[in-house]
Amino acid sequence: LGALLLAGPGLTCVVLTDVASYLASAALVTRAGHHAAGARQPPPPERHPAAGLRAGLRQVARVPLLRGLLVGNGVFLTANAALTVLLVPFITEQLHAPGYGLGYLISGLGVGFVAGSALSGRILGRFSSRQILVTAHLAGGGAYFALFNAPDLAAAVMAATLVGLPGSILLVCVETHVQRATTAGTLGRVGAIFFATDSLAAVAGALGAPALVAVLGLARALNTISAGALLAAPLTWKLLPNPPSLAAAPATDTAHGQAATNPASVPSGQQSHPSSSEYPRR
């Protein structure tokens, strides 16, 4: 919508539409009802932030699945951030298209994300985390090459759609497996470490991309970074254990190779919380 408005009525219309959307959002928030919660649990005892950080790091270091997710996803997101900051120069200098073409690329990316999110549930239930992530890394890297070697804007938009498809599946897979492989008591701390790594990848990619362009030129830098995104695939294959898919049973303890209890086979009221090293399937 932003690209269409900028190409038509102009920037003033884009800004006014944006302002109206925020005002409409604020008005809708004021209409949201408030429901009093039931009996509140007492707040947990306060802990020093450093202690929470150490607990999260210990959990990531102890569980092979979390270590592999953190490294592989970090490498891929660093390349993704580097390519993102080069989208406008790619459109204007390499495709010789108007700058608002970025809106069309983002729209294509969004279509791919929606399609990938719709497929994620079925894919996570049939394949292991390592199979999904390695395939998503390879598909994403290949789509990057197709995007940044596209002959025109229309081909670039179609390639951007192909980028969004595995990208969405990748993010859903990582978020799902982080929650399933982390104990409830440390989920917030482990999640914070993953979010911090994502932010670090964004900063590193954004700073490194212009420097690489200054050395190699735009076209070579784009292809070099796309190749860097592919490095996440062998790293993920090497670091991640290869448990069954989420739908498989019985589960496997990823740290010790022991069979874990299938929750569906345990009578109600007798289920125990899985340990941090178990990889629950349901």
Residue 268 domain flag = no
Is residue 31 a part of any domain in this protein?
Answer: no
Residue by residue, pLDDT tens for the chain (282 residues) are 888 788 788 889 999 999 999 999 999 999 887 665 655 665 555 567 777 778 888 888 888 888 889 999 999 999 999 999 999 999 999 999 988 888 899 999 999 999 999 999 899 888 888 899 999 999 999 999 999 999 999 999 999 999 999 999 999 999 998 888 888 778 888 888 899 999 999 999 999 999 999 999 999 999 999 999 999 999 999 988 766 555 543 333 433 333 333 333 333 333 333 333 333 333
Element (H, E) at 259: strand 259-260
Q: Is 98 exposed, middle or buried (0-12, 13-18, 19+ CB in 10 A)?
A: middle
Decide if 140 is inside a domain: yes
Please give the residue range of the domain that contains residue 99: 50-239
Q: Tally the domains of the chain.
A: 1
Answer yes or no: is 9 within a domain.
Answer: no
Domain containing residue 129: CATH number: 1.20.1250.20
Task: Identify whether 225 is part of a domain.
Answer: yes
Integer Cα distance of 160 and 140 in angstroms: 10
Answering whether pTM is above 0.95, one says no
Question: Within a domain: residue 99?
Answer: yes
For 224-256, how does the pLDDT look when each residue is reduced to its tens digit (9 = 90+)?
999 999 999 999 999 887 665 555 433 334 333
DSSP state of 262: P
**Domain assignment present for 220:** yes
User: Half-sphere exposure of 128 toward its Cβ, with a 13 Å CA cutoff?
Assistant: 16
Give the separation between CA 166 and CA 159, rounded to whole angstroms.
12
Query: Does residue 28 sit within a domain?
Result: no
Cβ 144 vs Cβ 230: under 8 Å = no
